[in-house]
Structure 1
Amino acid sequence: MDHRLGFEPISAELDRVRLPVEGDLPDWLAGTLLRNGPGRFRVGNRTLNHWFDGFSLLRRFAIHDGEIRYSNRFLRSEAYEHAREHGELGFREFGTIPDTDLRDRLKRLLSPRITDNACVDIETRGDAVVATTESPRPLEFDPETLETRSQNAREPLGTTMTVHPHYDAHRGETIGYATRLGRKPGYTLYRVPDGQTDPEILGGVTVDEAAYLHSFALTPNYVVLTESPFVVSPLALLRGSTVAGSFTWKPERGTRFIVFDRASGDVAATHRTGPFFVFHHVNAFERDGEIVLDLVAYPDASVVDALGLDNLRSPSPTLPTGELRRYRLPEDSARDIEHETLHPGHIEFPTIDYARRNTRPYRYVYGVSNRERPPAAFQNQLVKIDVETRTTETWDEPNSYPGEPVFVPAPDTSGTAASRREDEGVLLSVVLDADAGRSVLLVLDATTFEERARALVPHAIPFGFHGQFYRDGERPTRSMA
C-alpha cells in the first residue's frame, strides 16, 4: 500500500489507548495534541468528491509522564448524523451536493442548508474548545472525551468564516474575518478581546466579487487580506452548485492585498500584483516602512480541484507546487510591491514558533513537503526552512507520509523568552507508515531535525488538516496562521 491508505475511511473509535513509544520523549513535553480532519468519505453507496468533504474525525494525543494515550471520535454534527441515519448526504459540502429532485432543489433555493461538518481545525473560544470549518456553524466538544456538546455559533458576520483566526498574545485579542457572498459581497473584520466571547466588528470592505479566502496576515498595526482572483458566483450557489464549483479563476484581475489599520478598521492601502492563489499565510511583520508578508503561493487555483479524491487516490496524483514567497508591501500605496521566492517548494501546512514570533520577525518555518518537484506523490517529507540563510533541512522515510507539523517550544528555563533559541523545541506530526499499515505520532527535534521518539497508533489515521497543542498549565495559543 502507499499514500492511498490515508484516504481510506475509519470506523473504530478508541478511548485513551496507551501507545507503545519508541525513543525518548523530552522530560518537559506534557500536554494534549488535538487534531481535526476527515475520517469517512462515503455516504451510503456514494463516494464524496473532495478531501474537504469527509466527515470530521477528532484525534487526541495526551502526553504525560513519558506516556502517550490516543483517542479518536467522530464529531456528531447534523451532517454526520443525517448521513448515518438516512444513508444519504443531507447538506452541501465543499465539493459534493446532496442528490435531490426538482422539488428539493427549489426548497434548498429558498432555505439553503449550511453544513456543520466542522472537519478543518480546532479553536479555543473562552473556556470552550470548538471544531471549525468555513461555514459559520462550529461545534463545541469535550477536549477530554471528544464528545460533541453543542453548536458554538456566534452572530453570523458573513457566509463563511476563516478557520485560521490569529491570536495576538501581545494585545490579548483574537482577530478574524468573515466573507460575505450575497448581495453586498465583501469582508468583515472582527476582534474578540480576552475575557469576551462575542466578536466586535473591527472594520470591513465591500467588493464587486468576493474571493475565496482561507487565511490572512497580521502585524502589530495592520490586518492584510490576500485576495486572489478566485471569485464566487452567488448565482451558481443559488442554483445548487458545489461550493468549489461556484468559484472561477479570473487571472486578469490579479491578486490584491487589502491592508486594514487595526486601530481604526479602515482600509489603509491596497496593492495589486500578478495572479496567484494562497491557502496559508506563514507570518507578517513591519520593518522599515514596509509590511513583510510570507505565504505559500500557487500559480493558480488548480490546487483546489487537485485535492479532489479521484486525484488524491490515484497512484501518482497530479499536485501543483506551492512555493514559500515573501512580499514587501509599502505601508502606503505610493510604491510598487516587490516579492521574492524564499523556497521554491513544495511546502504546505506551514508553522512557526507562533506564540513568540507571530507578527514579529522570525527565522524558521516548518511544513510538509515532497521529495519531487513538481510533486509526483502525496506529501512525503517534512521540511525546515531558514528564511535568513535560505537553507533547508528535511526528514523523510520510505513510503511514509507526514501531516502538519505542530511546533511545541521548549520551556524557558531562565524565565525569559530571549533565553530560548527560536527552534528549541519539538515538532509533532502524525505520519502514515504505509508499509506497516498504521500511523505514528512522530516527535522530531526542531533544532537538529532528527527523530526523538514515535508513538505507534493501532490503525491508519486518515489524512487530516490542522490541530493545536495544549500545554499543561498554559493558555493555549494557535500553532498555525
Structure 2
Amino acid sequence: MTDYRAGFDTLDAEVAAALPVRGRLPDWLAGTLVRNGPAVFEHGGRSLRHWFDGQAMLHRFAIGDGGVRYTNRLLDTPSLRSLRERGRIGYTEFATDPCGSLFGRFFSRFHRRPSANACVNVTTVGGEPAAVSEVPLAVTFDPRTLDTLGVTDYSAGIDGTLTTAHPHALPDGGDLVNYVLRFGRHSEYQFYRRPPSAAAGEVIGRYRTEKPGYVHSFAVTRRHIVLAVFPLVVNPLSFLLRGRPFIENYAWRPEEGLRVVVLDAAGGGVVAEHTAPAAFAFHHINAYDDGDTVVMDLCAFDDAAIVSALYVDALRAGRPVPVSWATRYTVPLGAGEVTVRRLSDEPFELPRIHYGAHNGRPYRYAYGVGAADPTGANFLDQLVKLDVTTGRTTVWRAEGGYPGEPVFVPAPTAAAEDDGVVLSVVLDARRGASTLVVLDGATFTELARADVPHVIPFGFHGQFARQEH
C-alpha cells in the first residue's frame, strides 16, 4: 500500500508550465479543463479542520495540438486574505468556526459571516466563469489566467442561507436550475430557474419542512426536479444557540428516513413525496422519468459517518474512509413505495455522465472513483466505469495512483454514449506529484498522461470547455 496522504498537504505554490506528455492525446481533444478544490489547510499556526474547509485553488489544463499547459492559482478571497495577512480564521467554514471561545461566540452569535471560500465546483454566474460552494456567494475568475475578479451573488436574487455547488441545466432549453435554502421555523428549499446569462432567477417550486437536511446536490429530469433530503437534519435554532461550526449542528436521525421529493420543473410545486430507508449521499448520479415513476440514482452511504471521516486530522492519520455505492431509487409519482437496489458491488463516488446528451434522460454509463479495498483503508485508488443497465464495471488502476473525479468529454462526432475520453487528475504517490490521465471512454484504457510538477491536493469537481474555432 502506498501513501496517499500527500493529497491533503497544503499547496501554496503557483506555477504556469507546459507539461511533458506521455502517450498520445486524441487529435480532436482541444479545450480547457478547470478543476477546483481545497489547497491551503493551515497558515501561521492556524489550522482548518475539515477537507471541505481548505482554501480554494483552481487548476487549469489547456489541451490542444497534442500538448497540455498547466496553470494554478489560489482564489483571492477575504477568507484566504484573513488567514495569510492577518493570521486568523475570519469566516465560518463548513466545520471550522473562527469564534473558538465562548466570549467570541457570544459577540458573533447574530452576525457570523459565511465564507466566500468557493472550493467545490466551477460554473457560470451571469455569463462569467465562477468558483462556487454551498453558500450563495460565487468568486468570478479570468478563464485564461485564473486571476480572481471578484465576489458576486450566487443566489439569483433569492433570499436564503445555503445553496448547492451542483446547479443543473434543464434537459430541454438549457436554463440553469438550483435552489436556495432559507432557514426558519418552517425552512424552505426554493428552486429557481435562470437563463444562462441572466443575473436573476424565478422561483419555480418550494418545499417546506421543519427538519431541513444537509443536501449537497439534487437531480432533474425532463419534467421534474428531484430532491433527496437525508436524515442528517438540523433545528435551525442550533446555529444561534449551540455555537458550533456549521455541520456540527446537524444530527443523524435514521428514524426520519430518506425523504424523496419530486417537484414539477414547470413550476407546479410538489407532485410526490415519499420516505425510503435511511441513507446519506453527497452526489446524485442522474435521474429520469420512466412512465409513472422517476428513477433516481445516488452514490449512497449507509449513514452519515463519512462527514466525520473527512476531518483533516483523520485523513492525514490514514484512517479508513467509508465508501458509497451506486444505488437506484424508483419513485412512484402516485401511491406506492420507493424501491431501492444497489446497481453494483463496486464502491462508486464523484460520479460523472455524458451530461449534455443524457442528463435528466435515460442513460447507460457513469464514471466515478472507487476503492479496491471496500473498507476504504487505502482511500480512493481506482476509476470505475459503470454500466447502470447491467451492473457491469470496468476498472482502471495504477500502482500508487489515487484518482480524482473523472470528467467525460464526448468526441465531436460521437456515435455512442461512451464515445469520448475521461480526464482525471491522479496523485502518483510513487513519483510524489500529480498527473492528468486521459482514458478512452469506451475501453477505459489509458491513452496519455501529462505530468504536473507538484502534488495537487485532492479536489472535488471540474468542468471541461471545448476550444472555440
Q: Distance in 1 between matches of 2:171 and 2:300?
A: 27
Q: Distance in 2 between matches of 1:289 and 1:99?
A: 50
1:353 and 2:348 aligned: no
Q: Distance in 2 between matches of 1:261 and 1:398?
A: 47
Higher mean C-alpha displacement, 40-49 vs 348-357 = 40-49
Secondary structure of the 2:237 match is helix
Percent identity over the alignment is: 45
For 2:255, which of 252, 256, 279 is the aligned residue?
252
Q: Distance in 2 between matches of 1:358 and 1:116?
A: 29
Correspondence for 1:390: 391
Q: Distance in 1 between matches of 2:323 and 2:82?
A: 37
Q: Distance in 1 between matches of 2:97 and 2:214?
A: 19
1:279 and 2:282 aligned: yes
TM-score by length of 2: 0.96
Please report how far the alpha carbon of residue 263 of structure 1 lies from its aligned counterpart in structure 2 after TM superposition.
1.7
Matches within 5 A, 1:282-301: 282-301=285-304
Please report how far the alpha carbon of residue 156 of structure 1 lies from its aligned counterpart in structure 2 after TM superposition.
4.2
User: Is the Cα contact below 8 Å between 2:346 and 2:393 reproduced in 1?
Assistant: no
Residue-pair matches, total? 465
For 1:269, which of 272, 278, 287 is the aligned residue?
272
Q: Distance in 1 between matches of 2:185 and 2:338?
A: 32
Please report how far the alpha carbon of residue 456 of structure 1 lies from its aligned counterpart in structure 2 after TM superposition.
0.6
1:20 and 2:23 aligned: no
Correspondence for 2:167: 165
User: Is the Cα contact below 8 Å between 2:127 and 2:198 reproduced in 1?
Assistant: no
Correspondence for 1:371: 372
Please report how far the alpha carbon of residue 115 of structure 1 lies from its aligned counterpart in structure 2 after TM superposition.
0.7
Q: Distance in 2 between matches of 1:155 and 1:170?
A: 24
Secondary structure of the 1:106 match is helix
Secondary structure of the 1:69 match is strand
Q: Distance in 1 between matches of 2:360 and 2:94?
A: 31
User: Is the Cα contact below 8 Å between 1:204 and 1:265 reproduced in 2?
Assistant: no
Please report how far the alpha carbon of residue 204 of structure 1 lies from its aligned counterpart in structure 2 after TM superposition.
0.5
User: Is the Cα contact below 8 Å between 2:185 and 2:210 reproduced in 1?
Assistant: no
Please report how far the alpha carbon of residue 180 of structure 1 lies from its aligned counterpart in structure 2 after TM superposition.
2.0
Matches within 5 A, 1:405-444: 405-412=406-413, 420-444=415-439
1:456 and 2:456 aligned: no
Please report how far the alpha carbon of residue 290 of structure 1 lies from its aligned counterpart in structure 2 after TM superposition.
1.1
Correspondence for 1:240: 243
Secondary structure of the 1:444 match is strand
Q: Distance in 2 between matches of 1:246 and 1:101?
A: 17
Correspondence for 1:306: 309
Matches within 5 A, 1:59-208: 59-153=59-153, 154-208=156-210
Secondary structure of the 2:390 match is coil
Correspondence for 2:36: 36
TM-score by length of 1: 0.94
Secondary structure of the 1:310 match is helix
Q: CA RMSD in A?
A: 1.4
Q: Distance in 2 between matches of 1:376 and 1:263?
A: 45
Q: Distance in 1 between matches of 2:188 and 2:303?
A: 21
* Structure 1: gaps of 5 or more residues: 413-418, 475-481
Q: Distance in 2 between matches of 1:163 and 1:127?
A: 16
User: Is the Cα contact below 8 Å between 1:181 and 1:232 reproduced in 2?
Assistant: no
Closer, same or farther: CA 124–195 of 1 in aligned 2, 3 Å: closer
